[in-house]
Structure 1
Amino acid sequence: MGQGAEPRRPHARDDELGAAVARAQEGDEAAFAVAYRMVQPGLLGYLRGLVGPEAEDVAADAWLEIARDLGRFRGDGAGFRGWTATIARHRALDLLRRQKVRPRTTVLERDVFDLPAAHNTAEQALETLSTERALALIGELPPDQREAVLLRVVVGLDGPTAARVLSKRPGTVRTAAYRGLKRLARQLAGAEDAPGTEEGAG
């Protein structure tokens, strides 16, 4: 078993999402609303990691583009997550350019995924945290690791899809995610060992 021996688990509701997207492409507005509700939380979390408090405005712009171009999308539920993340990322980078702020993602010469089983613990722990606390922890990572982990844990993309979103090779993003999750595992372990962090402490 090599470093990529354990593939990324498919998102639990990708089949349902794919079906909703297909119906939305046929003009079913209720199905589009279903797809929106399934994708928006992860997309918003990802954007918060990129542009902070501007995330909701950027997400709104992204969804306008997603709705406009929906008929051109080809793929399944997982592909739709990747497509929407790509659009949202472009809108975020546009905002950062307009603000004349160097994009935090430019260091991200990374490619996410197919991490070794040893680091699934960090991923599972993050999934159980509140979104706010998880994003705060992820926000402390170096820029190259931050977006890799956001795409892996918050958006739920697989390796090849995350690579396409970032226009990077999978090995690079895999390294970033590996290092980021390893670092988060250490932070989580430290928090659990700290006095006064048990439930009910206070």
Structure 2
Amino acid sequence: MHHKGRATTLSIGDGFEEMLLAARAGAPWAFERLYADLAPAVAAYARLQGSPEPEDLTSEVFLGVFAGLASFEGTESKFRSWVFTIAHHRLVDERRRLSRRSFVPTADADVLDRPGGNAEQDALDKLGRRRVEELCAQLSADQRAVMLLRIVGDLTVEQVATVVGRSPGAVKGLQRRALTSLRKKVAPEGVPL
């Protein structure tokens, strides 16, 4: 399933249970499919959260995912939430390890890359990504995490609450404050939000 301007979401559908069983049995094709469907969104989340090594963090996340497959029970949606919970925890761990350095959200212009059609559109896309990064950097860490998990992770409010260890009401409040802040920042630019 694709959303315009959003990361690809896991969309195995009816075959998810069989794929999960195949992955548990060590089938390389099942690991590859799970990784291919979710790794780009996990990497984008890590980059926009300021991870200095988003590819390494993504690899760590999937090592944890594959190691924990035997104990995972649930639907495809719960699997996605579980993967982003692992990603969020790895990011928190990474920040603790790097706590002596200051945290700066990404300046990597390729964070939300997708194939482009022409040079002009690619340039406009790159400018748009930079603006998204600038706006994300101006949100509080909690607001940024909630917005990225909702948009890049494509998680529900309840799933985000589980990932960040907050109540759904707190997540809604953080989302509302983030949107209010973003509206104030983009309103002078004439961009509806």
Q: TM-score, normalised by structure 2?
A: 0.70
User: Residues 143 and 174 of structure 2 are in contact (CA less than 8 Å); yes or no, is this contact kept in structure 1?
Assistant: yes
Question: Quick one: which amino acid aligns to residue 167 of structure 2?
Answer: R
Q: Deviation at 1:53?
A: 2.5
The equivalences for 1:10-21 within 5 A come to: 13=11, 15=13, 18-19=16-17, 20-21=19-20
Alignment pair present for 1:81 and 2:95: no
Q: 1:150 to 1:192 in 2, by over 3 A?
A: same
Unmatched 5+ residue regions in structure 2? Answer: 1-8, 104-126
2:152 to 137, 154, 157: 154
Alignment pair present for 1:190 and 2:188: yes
Distance 2:88 2:41 in 1: 13
User: Residues 51 and 91 of structure 2 are in contact (CA less than 8 Å); yes or no, is this contact kept in structure 1?
Assistant: no
Q: Deviation at 1:15?
A: 2.4
Q: Deviation at 1:170?
A: 0.6
Partner of 1:109: none
Q: 1:32 to 1:12 in 2, by over 3 A?
A: closer
Q: 1:33 to 1:192 in 2, by over 3 A?
A: farther
The equivalences for 1:121-140 within 5 A come to: 133-140=131-138
- Equivalent residue pairs, number: 159
What are the Cα deviations for residues 98-123 of structure 1, in whole angstroms up to 9, with x where unaligned? 1225997xxxxxxxxxxxxxxxxxxx
The equivalences for 1:19-98 within 5 A come to: 19=17, 20-98=19-97
Q: 1:181 to 1:64 in 2, by over 3 A?
A: same
Q: 1:17 to 1:147 in 2, by over 3 A?
A: farther
2:179 to 181, 189, 192: 181
Distance 1:12 1:62 in 2: 16
Distance 1:174 1:15 in 2: 28
Q: Deviation at 1:150?
A: 0.6
Distance 1:17 1:135 in 2: 36
Q: What is the identity percentage for the equivalent residue pairs of Structure 1 and Structure 2?
A: 31
SS in structure 2 of the partner of residue 53 of structure 1 = coil
User: Residues 22 and 30 of structure 2 are in contact (CA less than 8 Å); yes or no, is this contact kept in structure 1?
Assistant: yes
Which shows bigger deviation, 95-104 or 171-180? 95-104
Question: Quick one: which amino acid aligns to residue 38 of structure 2?
Answer: V
Distance 1:133 1:17 in 2: 38
Distance 2:36 2:129 in 1: 16
Q: Deviation at 1:14?
A: 6.1
Q: CA RMSD in A?
A: 2.8
Unmatched 5+ residue regions in structure 1? Answer: 1-10, 105-128, 194-202
Partner of 1:114: none
Q: TM-score, normalised by structure 1?
A: 0.67
User: Residues 97 and 103 of structure 1 are in contact (CA less than 8 Å); yes or no, is this contact kept in structure 2?
Assistant: no
Distance 1:103 1:14 in 2: 39
Distance 2:136 2:15 in 1: 26
